[in-house]
Structure 1
């Protein structure tokens, strides 16, 4: 082998060694980034997509509230063909190159029971009930904590683990009529009908809401010459923390006193707000808005009213 061939061989070997070293360095850098930085980036990305999912669930509540208000104010609502399709981002949280896999999301309709019941103390054998149903979005994250976003009976609830908080209130109002100890309780319950179904995905899906009817549930004026001084409002739900806190705050806002005017009993599957007999009387008006909830075509993101 002449000197020129020897130089060529040594140069080729040097290039090959340098390439191997650079490749090894690149793998080392990628590994360090994946171990030390990618998990944090993944958490941030999954948190961002959870915000998007929460925003979509807020849209569900907004559409339902609009339907309820419109149907209550216009007796000819059936002529308008009330319908809305809300797109929901079902997954995300990918980090390009370093963690490209997406987290899934699950959307379920009427897979969890929610029932509201009102019983007047003087008529214990005549409870008025509403099967509320609900829509739940479950995140299935890899790094960021899993959460559930739940719409039921007009409320929007955030749940994480065993804890739950009501983030958007239902249509439940207590108002004192002057200072006479007489209160008006107004509730617009929401009944979501539709077959129980669920879908898991990492792309987009759509939820379709349709306004069906608005029906009276309870009107205390129907009990002629009879005042209502005590009654129970019970919510059967998985999210008892959220409902117990909300009902307690609502009563306190009108300066009702705990254990004098009302009590709250909460277990793992229901919350009961009891208005106690005493110096107060109550006018109670409860309506039920019936909406149909079902999965819609992902390409048909329309809103018609």
Structure 2
């Protein structure tokens, strides 16, 4: 009887060892084969979440600028810094860097054969750069009312600024620019949690509104390809003839519009900063 019980115990031990081995093998296969793809997909979803945060940021400033000309208004926007974790299997999150730049971009608008120039320098920008483990890293930038995405060597404008182009049947063209002038400090924070950007709307002022002849708009930015594409697309969609405009770019992008132009320029001033988020335990 004792030998039979010993044999049964040995069988159980062997079975347990085999099960543990199969579990370890399955876990290894999951981590090497499936987890990277799951993480890549989850991190890509997080990149879209960050875009949604920047979209909300832009929308909030646009709404306040349109509706609160005479009031000081404060608003805030959360930025989801980290993501991509998979419960149990791979719970650690990716992270990112949120940074404010008080300098670029700058916009220069000249009219009437450069006899009149209006300069908007150091408009400021806000950027989030991801630190992904598996998905391609991206940078989202908010500057002068536009949301730009940069990935590897490619830069594109996901959401356009409040700059519009129109062409009337008599050949007159209309250009309206809303300049978002942000007063920022040089701040940065890296985390995998949630960070907050706080804005205080100060004023909205019409800086210029008149009929002019010839307009030149120059944008100095670290993301000139996105601005060049936006300007070209804008005048083409408005129905400008090819003889009515020129676009050139190097370190900056310049749009020249020839002929009569109804030009309106509105400057929106806001203060912005990264606010520390205090996380409390349960």
Fold shared per TM-score above 0.5 = yes
Contact 2:210 2:264 in 1 (8 A): yes
Secondary structure in structure 2 of the residue aligned to 1:77: coil
Contact 2:102 2:182 in 1 (8 A): no
Residue 142 (str. 1) matches residue 133 (str. 2): yes
Contact 2:166 2:239 in 1 (8 A): no
Q: Which residue of the other structure, out of 50, 60, 63, is the alignment partner of 1:63?
A: 60
Residue 249 (str. 1) matches residue 233 (str. 2): yes
What TM-score comes out, normalization by structure 2 length?
0.91
Q: Which residue of the other structure, out of 208, 211, 222, is the alignment partner of 2:201?
A: 211
Tell me: CA distance 1:16–1:125, structure 2 relative to 1, closer, same or farther (3 Å).
same
The aligned runs of 1:219-298 (5 Å cut-off) are 219-220=209-210, 228-258=212-242, 260-267=243-250, 269-276=251-258, 280-298=259-277
The aligned runs of 1:97-112 (5 Å cut-off) are 97-110=88-101
CA distance, structure 1, for counterparts of residue 63 and residue 278 of structure 2: 23
Deviations 1:167-186 (A, max 9, x none): 2121111223x422222211
Secondary structure in structure 1 of the residue aligned to 2:14: helix
CA distance, structure 1, for counterparts of residue 24 and residue 163 of structure 2: 59
Contact 1:49 1:91 in 2 (8 A): yes
Structure 1: 5+ residue stretches without partners: 222-227, 301-305
How far off is 1:240 after superposition? 1.7
Secondary structure in structure 2 of the residue aligned to 1:65: helix
CA distance, structure 1, for counterparts of residue 241 and residue 151 of structure 2: 31
How far off is 1:125 after superposition? 7.1
How far off is 1:119 after superposition? 1.7
Q: Which residue of the other structure, out of 155, 165, 169, is the alignment partner of 2:146?
A: 155
Query: What RMSD, in angstroms, separates the aligned Cα atoms of the two structures?
Result: 2.1
Count how many residue pairs are aligned between Structure 1 and Structure 2: 279
Contact 1:88 1:207 in 2 (8 A): yes
The aligned runs of 1:166-205 (5 Å cut-off) are 166-176=157-167, 178-205=168-195
How far off is 1:64 after superposition? 0.7
Secondary structure in structure 2 of the residue aligned to 1:264: strand
How far off is 1:8 after superposition? 4.2
Tell me: CA distance 1:299–1:66, structure 2 relative to 1, closer, same or farther (3 Å).
farther
How far off is 1:36 after superposition? 1.2
Equivalent residue, structure 2, for 1:77: 71
CA distance, structure 2, for counterparts of residue 158 and residue 132 of structure 1: 18
CA distance, structure 2, for counterparts of residue 231 and residue 130 of structure 1: 18
Q: Which residue of the other structure, out of 43, 46, 50, is the alignment partner of 1:49?
A: 46
Higher strand proportion (structure 1 or 2): 2
Q: Which runs of 4+ in 1 moved over 6 A?
A: none
Contact 1:120 1:231 in 2 (8 A): yes
CA distance, structure 2, for counterparts of residue 126 and residue 96 of structure 1: 57
